[in-house]
Structure 1
Amino acid sequence: MIWFACGTLYLLPYILRGNDGFDLPAVLSHYSVSAVGLGFSFLLLGLTTRFRTMGKSVGFASSALAVLLLAGTLAAVDIALFDGIHAFFGREHGASVAYAVKWSGNFAIFVSQYSLIAVAFWTLETLEAHRLQQWELQEARTQAAQAQSLANRAKLSALRYQLNPHFLFNTLNSISSLVVTKRNADAELMLTSLSEFLRTTLAGDPNAPQTLEGELETIDAYLGLERIRFGDRLDLSIDCPPSLRDAQLPHFLLQPLVENAVKHGLAPSETKVSIAISARAHGTELVVAVENDCSVCNASEGGTGVGLRNVRDRLEAVYGQDGRLETIQREAGFIAIVRLPLEFPSE
């Protein structure tokens, strides 16, 4: 388009004169030169693309040299085409002017045109390279995020499957204790309840979140197993506002805390032990506390057991620094406090 416009512009003197009729040799000459100039422009584009890979200084110098060579060549082509076409039609082309003067005039015109074209090509190549670099960077970030997401899912699955054997081991130990103490009917009932518990709680996606209400139902089902063993010695209280029942959290997150309260608080005690679960919203944070009041509780403050360590690791994997577990050893009892972002299922 640029070269066609230039060819038309060069014809304006012929058009404005208007008394010589249609000057076919002039039209053919100017548009022939424009066509050659267009071809040289594509050549310059290819050269500019290659020169950009040589570094800024070398590439710029090489592009400048290419502009000079192409402009000089086209200046010579312009003279040859004009003389040849006009000679073909038996016409003289302008006054007798020295070749050097003609060439230098053409060279001055073409070098300015090719300089503008080279700058435009260089700018477009730079912008395209920057856009491609940004796209590749975004793709790398996306792939890294996907890889991190897959790694987190694998980690969560591993933690969940680590937790399941831990839970089963503790429960089977409870059943074994019932058998040893000749409580065979209770042991059989506990086995049946365990089978039902596993069927309803462990069949789903281990990485899928569930509501706080669903987690509390899981805890109640688990304590149903332990009540067979401990009877009236186990007392449970749950304090959860209705507005938080649909709050989301990782599946099976609170059960290990309740299991620890039973194992370290209720099992060593000969008296009744109360386990209290409370949930509160503190701004954008969900806070759930699991507490027991056993005077002989032997859980350590650092929480070195599998259950507490597993809860900490899962909170970190899902929420990063926004999810954490705090433990408090008291003179009479132990408190585990879970803090995580307050989230609800999307509509």
Structure 2
Amino acid sequence: MWIIHPLVNPELDHSKVEKSINIFNYFSGLTYSLAMILAWSTLYFSVNFYFRLVNEKEMHLAAVRLSHSAQIKMLRYQINPHFLFNTLNAISTLVLMGNKEKANGMLVHLSTFLRFSLDNDPEKKVVLYDELKALMLYLEIEKTRFDERLNIQLDIDEATKNLLVPSLILQPLVENSIKYSIAKMPSGGEIAIKAAVDETFLQLDVADNGPDGHASISKIHSNADAKAKGVGLRNIKERLAVLYPKHHQFMVQENTPQGLKVCIRIPIEASKE
């Protein structure tokens, strides 16, 4: 004998199951869709953020490069007016003294030197050989002023002549020695210029035999003479800091037996030409 429970309705149960399945499928599909939208949105914004970050970084690097370029040009071009002022004063003195031949010779050397300095891009380095040629032009001018009071000693390692250096890096150092040491000596003034390879560095030395080397060092370190010596030594220090950040040395020390010595150590960089 079959007994049917009054609460059991197969048709009603089947309908409820289908409805539950539909609701489950609906929410599953909705959840999947939301998850996909969230995933694609996350991917889109991540990629967009990455490209914005790269673009901002490129803009920052471009700004740094422009700042670097402007700073190098500013520091390099500080040298010319300073040197030009001193040289024109010397030429004017020669003219007033009636020594037209020497004044004319200085003007010729001055024009050649300025042509060299203006033809070279301040941001580009030059081989040491060309730097020394420019320095000799400058020294010809100073030899006209000081005659036998100024002697130059060169000790240039052959291996250094094709290495790259910042243009006009030596001239301010020599000018500093002449102005603050040689000019104070009645005779026997000497400037020694040396270039040598030391491990992975190029070392450049400019030394003089001035009478007050120790006093000059004290003034430099105490900044008591910053205004007078700033254009020369400070300019070199700032240029080196920009060109070789944390990869250079700039030392001022007493020379033996007397005078002042400036030592520069920069990474070896060979010319590609």
TM range (shorter): 0.7 to 0.9
Q: Deviations over 1:40-60 (max 9, x none)?
A: xxxxxxxxxxxxxxxxxxxxx
Alignment of 1:287-302 (within 5 A): 287-295=203-211, 300-301=216-217, 302=220
Q: How does 1:1-347 map to 2 (within 5 A)?
A: 100-295=16-211, 300-301=216-217, 302=220, 304=226, 305=229, 306-330=231-255, 332-346=258-272
Q: Which structure has greater helix proportion?
A: 1
1:300 and 1:136 mapped to 2: Cα distance? 53
5+ residue gaps, structure 1, are 1-94
Report deviation, 1:310: 1.0
Q: CA shift at 1:164, angstroms? A: 1.0
Q: What is the CA deviation profile of residues 239-264 of structure 1, one whole-angstrom value per residue up to 9, with x for unaligned ones?
A: 22222212212211111001111212
Q: TM-score, normalised by structure 2?
A: 0.82
Structure 1 contact 277–290 (Cα < 8 Å) conserved = yes
CA distance in structure 2 between the partners assigned to 1:238 and 1:127 by the alignment: 65
d(CA) in 2 for partners of 1:118, 1:346: 59
Aligned 8 A contact 1:268 1:297 in 2: no
Structure 2 runs not aligned, ≥5 long: 1-10
Distance of 2:266 and 2:58 partners within structure 1? 26
The CA deviation at 1:334 is 0.7
Instruction: Please say which structure displays the higher CA radius of gyration.
Output: 1
Secondary structure at 1:290's aligned position in 2?
strand
Give the SS at the match of 2:184. coil
Identity of matched residues, %: 32
CA contact (8 A) 2:248 2:265 kept: yes
Contact 2:91 2:106 in 1 (8 A): yes
Shift of residue 222, structure 1, vs aligned partner = 0.7
SS in 1 for 2:204: strand
Q: What is aligned with 1:39?
A: none
Q: CA RMSD in A?
A: 2.5
Counterpart of 2:8?
none
Q: Single out whichever of 250-259 and 137-146 deviates more from structure 2.
A: 137-146
TM-score, normalising length from structure 1?
0.66
Q: What CA distance in whole angstroms lies between the structure 2 residues aligned with 1:136 and 1:173?
A: 56
CA offsets 1:313-339 (integer angstroms, 9 cap, x no match): 111122222234221144621111112
Q: Secondary structure at the match of 1:263?
A: helix
Aligned residues of 2:152 and 2:191 also touching (Cα < 8 A): yes
TM-aligned CA distance change 1:118 to 1:346, over 3 Å: farther
Q: What is the CA-CA distance between 1:122 and the residue it aligns to? A: 2.1
Report the counterpart of residue 12 of structure 1 in structure 2. Answer: none
Change (3 A) 1:280 1:187: same
State how many pairs are aligned: 253
Separation of aligned partners in 2, 1:299 and 1:194? 32
- CA distance 1:317–1:223, change in 2 (3 Å): same
Q: Deviations over 1:73-123 (max 9, x none)?
A: xxxxxxxxxxxxxxxxxxxxxx99865432321222343344334334323
Letter of the aligned partner of 1:178 in structure 2? L
Please report how far the alpha carbon of residue 296 of structure 1 lies from its aligned counterpart in structure 2 after TM superposition: 5.0
Name the aligned partner's letter for residue 82 of structure 2.
Answer: H
Amino acid paired to 1:229 = R
